[in-house]
Amino acid sequence: MIQHLNITLYGQVQGVFLRRTVEHEANRRGIVGCVRNEPDGTVYVESEAEEATLKKFVEWLKAGASGGGDFQIAQVEIEEGTFKAFSEFEIR
């Protein structure tokens, strides 16, 4: 079943190529949605995919988004959201 998650990332997450890394990983996993910087210093991710795929994506985020970068994810906040039928994953 397709699921929609709203994810907020806290820590040293802006200005450190995290959005590009998240976009790459989402595309690699077949996830659609978007990622953007928020004025409060967090990074916000909307993601849609099969539940099992999103579970592994969230695990990857909680592990610190391994794969490079100078970012440090201190906290990952997740809530279920409303399905929006994204057609791709993009940086906003």
Instruction: Please say whether the beta carbons of 71 and 13 come within 8 A.
Output: yes
Q: Select which of 6, 29, 36, 37 is catalytic.
A: 37
Establish whether 36 is a catalytic residue. no
Q: Is 3 exposed, middle or buried (0-12, 13-18, 19+ CB in 10 A)?
A: middle
Q: Select which of 19, 27, 28, 36 is catalytic.
A: 19
CA distance 47 to 32: 6
Q: From the CB of residue 69, how many other CB atoms can be counted at a distance below 10 Å?
A: 17
Establish whether 19 is a catalytic residue. yes
Would you state the structure tokens that stand for residue 83, as one six-digit string?
A: 């399905």
Catalytic residue numbers, as ranges: 19, 37
